[in-house]
Amino acid sequence: MNYGIVSQEQLEQIEDILYQKLVKFGVDSVIIIDMAGNVITVKDNGKNKYNIYSFAALAAGNFATVDAMAKLVGETEFSLLFHKGQDSNIHFSKIDDELLLISMFGKDISLGFLRLNVVEAIEQIRKVWARQG
Amino acid sequence: MPDFVCPYVWKKVETGGGKLSFINLKDKVVQVKIVYYGPGRCGKTTNLEYINRKFRDQIQSEMVSLKTHGDRTLFFDFLPFDLGQIKGYEIKIQLYTVPGQVRYNSTRKLVLKGVDGIVFVADVMEKQREKNIRSLNQLHENLQSYKESIFKIPLIMQYNKVDLKEYGIPVLPTFVLQQDLNSRLQVPYFEASAITGYNVVATLKKIISSTVVSIQKKLL
Ligand SMILES: Nc1nc2c(ncn2[C@@H]2O[C@H](COP(=O)(O)OP(=O)(O)O)[C@@H](O)[C@H]2O)c(=O)[nH]1
Ligand SMILES: [Mg+2]
């Protein structure tokens, strides 16, 4: 997928999808990164206190590691990853081979609800992405 | 480049051998990935630790180190900092190191993904001569696996641990290191001592300027 060139309009649409599908329902923060650890876009509720670039570097490393583990045990991929904490949780989902969607959310959202919304968001994002010249 | 002139927000910019950097034209942010590469224990982590101490005021975030109990780099070290603006673009530098141990090549490759510029750190101790050469050869192969070329990517050589000379430890003369590692590449090089800080900042400045110039050429 040629995701390198994304128009202003497309990026705004993608940010809107992240808001409508995730942030609006109380997800604290949604980030799209590439597998090299670059931040593509961030949508959050403004309460972010951590360094987003360090987070992206670790997240890309984490995902790459799990991917390599999958291949070792004969899986093509573990396309979904979830880390559960005391107060916050992190959910990773692949958009395509190069892009990752990461959601951070607290106790008031169920994993099932989040997963459903992530799947819908990714479907919509892929459509926006596909519409490029 | 105002947005109404260029409608694209994210732009793939080809640098060197076909690597694509991401330039955010909307927020005017450029993320630059620089990797310190070299054999195990040559001083890559020590370089980043020195930079982290020296530029404490400009670095907003803690250095991230993924290491074993024995203090060996397990995956990478990561140090992000803002360079300020160049031609209206905010430049975000991201320094990485790779793990040096021979058996960790798959992790080294992961860290090299999307690299914009490389500092090759060689250990000047005589007994490390073979290891330096082998590590450089592997860098060449690893870059090829990403369709990137060691001859095209911004690259700086750093001959580290020159302070050891004073303690009577046998070290390789610079002309030998140049012959071994830099006779074909012909890239800028520095004698350095990561532990004292000698030429650590000079190395960093040089790789940043080479990398930013190479990205700029494609951008503007
Ligand atoms: N004498 C001396 N020792 C150094 C220098 N740079 C690193 N070291 C030491 O070499 C060892 C390995 O350094 P480290 O940065 O962990 O190597 P890395 O495996 O490349 O990350 C450590 O004990 C450092 O203190 C240097 O310039 N001079
Ligand atoms: Mg190290």
Closest to A90 in 3D by CA, of A66, A114, A70: A114
Count how many domains chain A has.
Answer: 1
pLDDT bracket for residue A121 (50, 70, 90): very high
Beta strands B64-67; A99-105: pairing state: unpaired
Q: Average of pLDDT values for A89-117?
A: 91
Q: Average of pLDDT values for B194-211?
A: 96
Per CATH, the homologous superfamily of domain B10-219 is P-loop containing nucleotide triphosphate hydrolases (3.40.50.300)
The answer to whether position A2 is within a domain reads: no
pLDDT at A24 > cutoff 90: yes
Q: Average of pLDDT values for B7-14?
A: 47
pLDDT for position B7: 35
User: Where exactly are the structural domains of chain B?
Assistant: 10-219
pLDDT for position B10: 53
pLDDT for position B16: 41
Contact between B169 and B160 (Cβ < 8 Å): no
B3 vs B136, residue with greater confidence: B136
Q: How far is the CA of B116 from the centre of ligand 1 (A)?
A: 24
In chain B, what residues touch A8 (CB-CB under 8 Å)?
3, 7-9, 25-26
| B6 phi and psi angles, rounded to 5 deg | -115, 115
Does the beta carbon of A72 lie under 8 angstroms from any beta carbon of chain B?
no
Closest to A102 in 3D by CA, of A31, A37, A53: A31
Quick one: A124 exposed, middle or buried, by C-beta within 10 A (0-12, 13-18, 19+)?
middle
Q: Tell me the C-alpha to C-alpha distance, in Å, between residue B184 and each of A68, B151, B181.
A: 34, 9, 8
pLDDT at B6 > cutoff 50: no
pLDDT at B5 > cutoff 70: no
Does the beta carbon of A64 lie under 8 angstroms from any beta carbon of chain B?
yes
Provide CB contacts within 8 A for A47, sequence distance 6+: A28
Average pLDDT taken over every residue of chain A: 85
Averaging pLDDT over each range in A84-88, A108-112, B164-168, which range is the top one? Answer: B164-168
Contact between B53 and B195 (Cβ < 8 Å): no
User: CA-CA distance, B121 to B156, in Å (whole number)?
Assistant: 9
Closest to A103 in 3D by CA, of A121, A130, A77: A121
Q: Is the pTM of this model over 0.90?
A: no
Sheet of strand A99-105, all strands in order from the earlier edge strand to the far edge = A39-44, A29-34, A99-105, A89-94, A80-84
Does the beta carbon of A54 lie under 8 angstroms from any beta carbon of chain B?
yes
Domain extent for A95: 8-130
The answer to whether position A3 is within a domain reads: no
User: CA-CA distance, A26 to B79, in Å (whole number)?
Assistant: 31
For residue B164, the tally of other CB atoms under 10 A from its CB is: 17
pLDDT bracket for residue B4 (50, 70, 90): very low
Note whether A36 contacts B114, CB cutoff 8 Å.
yes
| B211 phi and psi angles, rounded to 5 deg | -70, -45
Q: How many angstroms separate the CA of residue A130 from the nearest CA in chain B?
A: 15
pLDDT at A16 > cutoff 80: yes
Contact between A51 and B59 (Cβ < 8 Å): no
Which amino acid, residue A107? K
DSSP for residue B55:
T
Beta strands B117-123; B29-37: pairing state: parallel
The pLDDT tens digits for B37-75 are 999 999 999 999 999 999 888 777 788 888 877 778 878
Residues with Cβ within 5 Å of ion ligand 2?
B 44-45, 73
Average pLDDT taken over every residue of chain B: 86
User: CA-CA distance, A84 to A104, in Å (whole number)?
Assistant: 10
The CATH number of whichever domain residue A106 belongs to comes to 3.30.450.30
Q: Which residue in A has a C-alpha nearest to residue B94's C-alpha? A: A53
The answer to whether position A1 is within a domain reads: no
The answer to whether position A65 is within a domain reads: yes
The pLDDT tens digits for B86-106 are 878 888 899 999 988 877 888
For residue A119, the tally of other CB atoms under 10 A from its CB is: 13
pLDDT for position B22: 61
Listed in sequence order, the DSSP H helices in A1-133 are: 8-21, 52-72, 111-130
